Structure 1
Amino acid sequence: MPISVATWNIHKGFSQFNRRMMVHELRERLRALDADIVFLQEVQGLHLKHAAQHAHWPSAPQHEFLAAGVWHNSAYGQNMVYDHGHHGNAILSRFPILHEYNQDVTHLRFERRGLLHCAVELPQLNQALHCVCVHLSLFARSRRWQLDALASYIDAMVMPDAPLLIAGDFNDWRNHAGEILTQRLGLSEIFTSANPNAGQRAGQHKAVRPSRSYPAALPLFRLDRIYQRGLTVTAAHRHAGLPWSSISDHAALSAKLQIAIP
């Protein structure tokens, strides 16, 4: 059974350095990816000031505006709350969402973070596909704490044989997330899975690393990831440069996968 997924930090619907509102262009680019399940970070659930300042600011929360007419199921995890609004993570799905839960993994009071977990029903599959959207801390110590909390949550809430996707903005400059997620949870990163022999030359093997995704105009840092368990990756893509870099400061990542039907 083929399935396509994507992840994107959408920067609350604004271009880099908040120069322009890009939420309408964002919706068109997102639809061009044609993904069955989309993981989004920095999704603006409400912003009263932007609504007053921008004539074309959507009246609906961003995840509903982006999903309308394409993804008939969506979930939103509110993380950062302020006087004029809130933002967080979202998952959009063409398939029914059976269960959703937003796990608070805040480590620093000024940096609210959460893990949005959805159980998605897929046709012909006798168990749910578990999807977790993450946006981790800017600080290494907090990221380690959050990754441990993520691993403990998955151990407790997801059966070991259930198919699993964890995607989002890991802010993981040195690929420490991969060590925890592969060793504790048996996950593999999509670019590694799609290119198992990459890096082999003259009889030597160099470990494949996640794709560079930030900044979108000229990606240098490997911040955004899609990890999977129980699936087969058939293709992995990074969407950087124009027009993507005019919409958000992060590149989008997408993948095509296969799920075995028992």
Structure 2
Amino acid sequence: MKIKIATYNIHRAIGLDRRFRPQRIIDILTEIDANIVLLQEVDDGVPRSRELDLAKEISQACGYKYYAMGHNVSLKKGSYGNATLSKFPITIERNIDLTINNKKSRGCQHTTLSIQKKTKKVVLDVFNLHLGLSARERQKQAGLLFHSAEYQQLKSKNPCIIAGDFNDWRSLLRALFIEGLGFSCATDTKDAIAIKTFPSFAPRGGLDKVYYKGRLKLSKAYRYRKKIAKIASDHLPIVAEFEL
């Protein structure tokens, strides 16, 4: 069974032209047509994005029956965070607080998906995160994630994906994920080589990553780089295709 995953920091659907244009994000995601989409920097009820529930708007426009919103940052009006859109039922949704001391609020959304595969159901655990700007902060946030009840209670037989905006310019977390925890990385082929996604108009940094483990076989991973994506957000979307 083929599974396509996309992760995309949509920058609140405000493009590099400083215009709020959610339709551009919708058009990109519609063309990618992933089974599961992980979004970061998603507004909910914020004036700069017309007080829309962006997760709901995008999921409905793109034809995703299931979605979940994880609120990380509260503003004077509204909030923003990570959102997961899925063509498979979401049976569990939790938000893990990854905030370190007085740093900006950060979080990781954990969703459990139920996937019907011929005569049996497969459980897929998906973690959608947005990490901090400093290497030290990111190391601590990774520790919070892996020591969280949500991660500790995972069943080893279930496939698992951790993806999102890692802000990890030099892939410093790669050793922890791969050597320490047994993940594979779909987006980094070597320690310092990653699929570059930021900034979208001339990518220099591989900030957006997809890690996976369990019964998932990577077919390919790539960035979506059509003209519209170079202006729709400051990041490019990453797509990873698997056999489950």
The answer, yes or no, to whether TM exceeds 0.5 is yes
Deviates more, 1:178-187 or 1:82-91: 178-187
Residue 122 of structure 1 aligns to a residue in which SS?
A: strand
Deviation at 1:157, TM superposition (A): 2.3
Report how far residue 104 of structure 1 moved: 0.6
Give the conservation status (yes or no) of the 8 Å contact 2:163–2:209.
Answer: yes
**Equivalent residues in 2 for 1:150-165 (5 A)?**
150-153=145-148, 155-165=151-161
1:49–1:84 Cα contact (<8 Å) kept: no
Is structure 2 residue 235 aligned with structure 1 residue 250? yes
Runs of 4+ in 1 over 6 A off after TM superposition: none
Q: Deviations over 1:143-174 (max 9, x none)?
A: 01001112223641212221001110000011
**2: distance between equivalents of 1:256 and 1:72?**
20
Name 1:41's counterpart in structure 2.
40
Structure whose residues are more often strand by fraction: 2
Show the counterpart of 2:21: 22
Identity of aligned residues (%): 31
Q: CA deviation at 1:26?
A: 1.1
CA deviation after TM superposition for structure 1 residue 208, in Å: 7.2
Note the C-alpha offset of 1:36.
Answer: 0.3
Query: Mean Cα displacement is larger for which, 89-98 or 158-167?
Result: 158-167
Q: Distance in 2 between matches of 1:170 and 1:80?
A: 17
What amino acid does structure 1 have at the position aligned with 2:157?
D
Other-structure match for 2:209 = 225
Of 150, 155, 175, the residue aligned with 2:171 is: 175
Is this contact kept in 2: 1:108–1:142, CA < 8 A?
no
Root-mean-square deviation over aligned CA pairs: 1.8
- What's 1:5 paired with? 5
Structure 2 portions without partners, runs of 5+: none
Q: Where do 5+ consecutive residues of structure 1 fail to align?
A: 52-58, 196-205
Residue 60 of structure 2: aligned partner? 68
Partner of 2:127: 132
8 Å contact from structure 2 (residues 230, 236) kept in 1? yes
Deviations 1:13-54 (A, max 9, x none): 1012x6111211111111110000000000001213542xxx
Q: Distance in 2 between matches of 1:255 and 1:177?
A: 19
TM-score by length of 2: 0.92
Between structure 1 and structure 2, the one with the greater Rg is: 1
Distance 1:252 1:82, change over 3 A: same
Q: For 2:139 and 2:240, how far apart are their aligned partners in 1? A: 26
**Partner letter of residue 98 of structure 1?**
T
CA distance in 1, matches of 2:219, 2:32: 16
Deviations 1:46-99 (A, max 9, x none): 213542xxxxxxx64101100005110001100000112210000000000000
Contact 2:229 2:236 in 1 (8 A): yes
The Cα shift of 1:106 comes to 0.4
Q: Given the alignment of the two structures, is residue 85 of structure 1 paired with residue 78 of structure 2, yes or no?
A: yes
